[in-house]
Every structure is written in structure tokens, then in C-alpha cells.
Structure 1
Amino acid sequence: MPIPPPDAPFDLDSCDPDRRDRAPDAVPPSRLQLPPGLWTNLLDGVCARFPAIGRERWRERFARGRVLDARDARPLSAEAPYQVGLEILYFREVEHEPRIPFEERIVHCDERLLIVDKPHFLPVAPSGRFVAETLLGRLQRRLGEADLAPLHRLDAATAGLVMFSREPASRGAYQALFRERRIDKRYLALAPPLPGLSFPLVRRSRIEAGEPFFLMREGQGEANSETRIEVVARGEEAWTYSLQPVTGRKHQLRVHMAALGAPIVGDRFYPLQPRGEEDFDRPLKLLARSLRFVDPFEGGERRFDSGLSL
């Protein structure tokens, strides 16, 4: 299927002509296998598992049929006996979830894969205060595909290409491309000039959990991360860098550029900035520009390019 230009509407019916027969508005549920515990009923068990959610909110969810038996999608009672190992489905809900005022764009769609340009600020998958306002949630509602699954992740702050699996049967083969480093990922970033360094260069270091808990840092010991860095344009205040991550550590590109003395423009984590409301006029200048790999089913090389720019 040809890739449409950046501002062209994508024909969803050509992607899946049967999608209109599925409910477009439901946010797919999360799945949980009940862990060992001595709780009397399901309400006690889920309250212990998710202490940040109030007991009355869980009771109300049960009453509205938002907690189900995974075997037959039957609504469960809050007073039902707690059964270790029982798989339940529950619908995550966030009160007053903020709207991300940018739209995703479908770049490519076939029977196995969906390639999407993610805008800045939009999380890929549900986490924290975002459930419906995620790339996965939007696409599942838009296409009516509950089985859609991201094959890799981008930070919410990062824009660009994300690859999704549309069918469980082929998912493992595409996941292996990322796990076995058989997929070439290229990013573009705007960051301060580094005239004292020679390019291209390779940054290898050990990335580990930092403080606060949501940050990463470079530490001592054997390297577990690698990024190849080139300069593609040299401006007065910022250069445009091409970044090729060989490994996939959390925040790897942001940590490596900051460690070199060139934090990516718009980065609020490296170095850490005071937390506040998102400034949609100051995005992180980091873009997942291209994906290239040999398709495990078709055999030929495939390449996808983002229609976004920095």
C-alpha cells in the first residue's frame, strides 16, 4: 500500500473494510491475574492491589460492570470470593483526563502492521493519568481493533514513527526484530553545537535508574547502551543530529546527548526542570525519523519514514 503524503487523509476502509462492524468507542480493558492473598472478596483484593484507587471508586466500577471475568467477559460482583489465579478484566478510568491537542497520522497499514506518526506529548500506551488519550487508545477506538499492540515504545515527549502489530499470530516475529536488534531506527534531534568533538561518534555507557525515580543516569560499570551520532546540519544556536540507537534503554538518546554536553532542545528531564503544566509550544526536539528492517514474512527490506519535522 503506498504511503500517503503527510497531509493526506488515510483511507481507513482500505486498511480494514470490516472495521465499521466493530464498536469504535470502547477503551479496551486491562488484564490481571489475581496474585496470592487471603482476601475475602474481589473488592478487598483489588483495593489491596491498587491502593491509589479509593474503595468506593472500585465498588462503583463493580456496580457498573467494569470488572469482568476474562474467561467469558461476565461482570463480576464486588462481593464474589477472591480466587488466586483468576484472570479478570478491568477498565481503567481517569477523571478529568486532559486532551492532547495534536493528532496522529497513519503512515502505512497492511494485514499485519500499522505504522503511525505519533505527535509530541501523546503517550503510546496507558500510564499514570492517561488512558484514553494515548496513541494505542486512540487507534483502538479509531479502527475498532482491541488486539492492536505496540511493538516498541517512544517517550510521550518524542514524536515520530511507532509500529503496531495488528494480529497476534505474527506478533512474535516482529517483536523479535527489536529484541534481536535487527531493525534500524534513526532519529533526528536539535541540540547545542559540539564543535570540540569529531563526528560520527559512538556513545557507549552504562544507563541505570536515577533520582527521582522517573529519571535515568549514566553510572559506573560495563556499558549496556550504545548510540551512533552524526551531524546533519550546523546552525548557529543548534545543530541537527542523526541518532541511531543500537540498544533501547529508557531515555537513552536524551541521556547520551545530555552527557555529551548537548541536551536536546525542549528536554525538561535532562537537566531536570521544575514540574508544571505541559507547554505545548515547546516540544522536545526529538523525532523518530525512520524504521528499516527485513520483513520476517515477506523477506524483502522495508523502510518507513516519518512525515513530521523538527
Structure 2
Amino acid sequence: MRSPLPVRDGVGATRLHVPLTGPWPTVSAYMIERFFHLDSQQLLTRFDDGEIVAFDGSPVARDAPLGAEEFVWYYREPPAETHIPFDIEILHEDRDLVVVDKPHFLPSTPAGRYVQNSALVRLRRLLDNPDLAPVHRLDRATAGLLMFSARPVTRGAYQTLFQRRRIEKVYEAVSARPAGWTNDLPRTVRLHIEKLRSQVCVDVDADREPNSETLIELLDADEHVVHTLLRPHTGKMHQLRVHLASIGLGILHDNLYPILTDEKPDDHDRPLQLLARELRFVDPLSGEERDFRTRQTLRYAPRT
């Protein structure tokens, strides 16, 4: 459903589903209860100022009865953000596709306390392209290659590549070397991974059929760390972090796996040692062989 409001400062409007029936006399009454943590008078003022609109872009009145609109759109109030002091590098740009090198700590898309400090919003503003949209995502803590669609008309062709697993993805990771570690790589790890809504970390169920698979190969090792190459066959949430932790090679500076630790402010000297290194695929529009490689390196990899 296309938004009736344009992208503003690189950020799209939020769509809210409003119940057609219920105990609320008006649309505004429902929103006041839904967003109980906000000042109700300020919310009503936004109705009066025409900032909450229907599917055709017309303002929704504060006394519009429940059932008058099933969806409304509005701009979220921008949060106060801490600037993330790392830049995106554009590696490739054409009419349909943009490929960038995302730094550690920068989220792929707006989330929580990060809006302007997200790869998507920064790129929309940099390239003056409100239609830019991610084809896939990287965790905020992960650095490396990230692909964006530049035009809605061709977006589905690139998204299908990921859905049908027609993209070869290669990652690197650095793990602390466990005491007594003996090299048993290369090794294919298969696990059943499930993300529950109420949890930060994913669940691993050893009794269920595996739904994730990664080939893990050794790049290098010294007395302190193990440097691995990762070839995921699937793309489950936190898959690489979970797979490495499951074989005793939890990624260096990972605060989720194998042990969830208290959230702390970002320490830019201790980035998660996970890097999206390569993307290879046949372009669905041109038939051209595409081969992209990051220009970044992992800070704690062995130096040989």
C-alpha cells in the first residue's frame, strides 16, 4: 500500500492500522490509548494541524469516528540521536542497483533510536533518491556489503535473488581462540534457528529439522584468535553468530552469543568481528556476472 505522504529527510511516513470496531468513539481516541506514553494533547494538535492523513492524503479530523479510516499515515517525531562517526562508501551505482560498504555500528534501516543514523536514510539523502530501498539487511554490528534497489519497478528482481538463494554470500569472522582448540575445519554447521518476538536472541532447537546451514573454513589462526571464512547457504537471523558459537568459536566482541550480556554504549574500539565480504550473482536484468567485494578488513584478524 503506497504512502500518500512523500519521503521526508530520507524517512518514509508510518502507516498505522486502525480497528474498524471497538470501544473507542474516534480514531484519535484509539491512537491516544495506543500511544499512551505520548502527550495526548500534542497528539490531538497533530490531528488539528492536518499531520495525520488518510489513504488519499486528506487530513483525518480529531472527531473522525472509529471505522471512518482503516489506515492512517503520519511522520514520527524524530528522536534525539547520537551521531555514528563512520561513513558509508559507495562501491557501485547504476540505474537500478546501489552497493555500499556499511561500517560497523550503523543500522541498515531506521530502527529504535537510530533514524538519520541508518544506511538507508543517509543514502536517500546523499543520492537524493526517496525510492531507494534495501534488498537485504545486515545487523547493526556487522560491517560490509549491503545492496539497495534504486527503482521500485525493478526491485522485485533483486529481492527474488535472495529469496531463491541465487546469491553467493561470503563472510569473514574473528573469534577468540579457545583453550585447547584443535582445527576441525572446514565444517558444515546445520541447526534449527527460530526468532521469538519477545526475545533478543534466537532459540536453537536440537530436536527439530535444521533450517540453517553454513560452511565454515579456516583462513588463519594464531595463539589468540581464529580467523574464519563463512559461506551461508541460508539467511536466518543471527545465523553466523549462532553457528560459530555452537562450535566454540563465538565471534569476538559479540554481546549476544554464546552469552547474552547487558547492553552497553557502543565501544568503537571493539566492533563485532564479522564482515560481509563478497556478493556474487547473475544480474537478473542484464545477465551480467556481478562480483562485489568489501574494501574493509577485520581489525583483530591475525597479521601474517
TM-score range, shorter chain: 0.7 to 0.9
2:296 is the alignment partner of 1:308: yes
Q: 1:188 to 1:74 in 2, by over 3 A?
A: same
Deviations along 1:166-223, one digit per CA (max 9) or x if unpaired, are 1111111111110111101111111123643422111001112369711113213110
Which whole-Å CA distance do the structure 1 matches of 2:224 and 2:251 have between them? 12
Question: Is the partner of 1:68 in helix, strand or coil?
Answer: coil
Match of 1:44 in 2: 29
TM-score relative to the length of structure 1 = 0.84
Equivalent residue for 1:62, pick from 39, 44, 47: 47
CA deviation after TM superposition for structure 1 residue 63, in Å: 4.6
2:266 alignment counterpart: 278
Give the distance between the partners of 2:39 and 2:52, measured in 1 at CA.
15
Amino acid at match of 1:67: I
Q: AA paired with 2:274?
A: L
Does the 8 Å contact 2:241/2:251 carry over to 1? yes
- Is the contact made by 1:125 and 1:137 (CA closer than 8 Å) also made in structure 2? yes
Match for residue 240 of structure 1? Answer: 227
Which residue in 1 is equivalent to 2:184?
198
1:219 maps to which of 167, 180, 205: 205
Q: Is the alpha carbon distance of 1:142 and 1:70 closer, same or farther for their aligned partners in structure 2, counting shifts above 3 Å?
A: farther
Measure how far apart 1:244 and its partner are: 1.3
Inter-partner Cα distance in structure 2 for 1:245 and 1:50: 40
Report the TM-score when normalising by structure 2: 0.86
Contact 1:115/1:164 (CA < 8 Å) preserved in 2?
yes
Match of 1:288 in 2: 276
Distance 1:188 1:116 in 2: 17
Q: In structure 1, what is the Cα distance between the partners aligned to 2:252 and 2:48?
A: 48
Find out whether 1:162 has 2:149 as its counterpart.
Answer: no
- Could you tell me whether the CA contact under 8 Å between 2:176 and 2:226 is conserved in 1? yes
Tell me how far apart the structure 2 counterparts of residues 166 and 49 of structure 1 sit (CA, whole Å).
35
- Size of the aligned set, in residue pairs, is 288
Moved more, 129-138 or 24-33: 24-33
Give the aligned residue type for 1:42: V
C-alpha contact (below 8 Å) 1:160/1:287 kept by paired residues: yes
Percent sequence identity over aligned pairs: 42
- Contact residue 142 and residue 275 of structure 2 kept, 8 A: yes
What secondary structure sits across from 2:91 in the alignment? strand
Structure 1 match to 2:3: none
Secondary structure in structure 2 of the residue aligned to 1:67: coil
Equivalent pair of 1:233/1:241 in contact (CA under 8 Å): yes
C-alpha distance after superposition, 1:2-55 (max 9, x if no partner):
xxxxxxxxxxxxxxxxxxxx9983532123343443333232233344455443
Q: Is residue 2:106 matched to residue 1:106?
A: no
Tell me, yes or no, if the aligned pair for 2:7 and 2:13 is still in contact at 8 Å. Answer: no
1:88-127 matches, cutoff 5 A: 88-127=72-111
Q: Partner amino acid for 2:222?
A: G
CA–CA distance in structure 2, aligned partners of residues 63 and 104 of structure 1 = 39
1:207 & 1:156 partners in 2: Cα distance?
20
Alpha carbons of 1:296 and 1:279: their partners in 2 closer, same or farther (altered >3 Å)?
A: same
Please report how far the alpha carbon of residue 58 of structure 1 lies from its aligned counterpart in structure 2 after TM superposition: 2.8
SS across alignment from 1:255: helix
Q: Which amino acid aligns with 2:84?
A: I
* Cα distance in 1 between the residues matched to 2:31 and 2:216: 46
Partner of 1:3: none
Distance 1:23 1:213, change over 3 A: closer
Over aligned residue pairs, what C-alpha RMSD do you find? 2.4
The reply to whether residue 255 of structure 1 matches residue 221 of structure 2 is no
Contact 2:10 2:122 survives alignment (8 Å) = no
Question: What whole-Å deviation, never above 9, does each CA across 1:79-98 have from its counterpart, x for those lacking one?
Answer: 33344664432212243222
In structure 1, C-alpha distance between the alignment counterparts of 2:197 and 2:222, rounded to whole Å? 33
Are the counterparts in 1 of residues 20 and 70 from structure 2 also a CA contact under 8 Å?
no
Compute the displacement of 1:256 (Å). Answer: 0.9
Out of 140, 143, 146, the residue aligned to residue 127 of structure 2 is 143
Q: Secondary structure at the match of 2:224?
A: coil
Q: Deviations over 1:123-182 (max 9, x none)?
A: 111222222221111112222222211111111111111111111111111111101111
3-state SS of paired residue (2:250): coil
Q: Against the structure 1 CA distance between its residues 211 and 168, is the aligned structure 2 distance closer, same or farther, given a 3 Å change threshold?
A: closer
Residue segments in structure 1 that go unaligned for 5+ positions in a row: 1-21
Aligned CA distance change for structure 1 residues 77 and 142 (closer, same or farther; 3 Å): farther
Task: Please identify runs of 4+ aligned residues in structure 1 that moved more than 6 A.
Answer: none
1: CA distance, partners of 2:8 / 2:293: 28
User: What is aligned with 1:177?
Assistant: 161
Gaps of 5+ in 2: 1-5, 299-304
Q: 1:297 aligns with which of 269, 285, 295?
A: 285
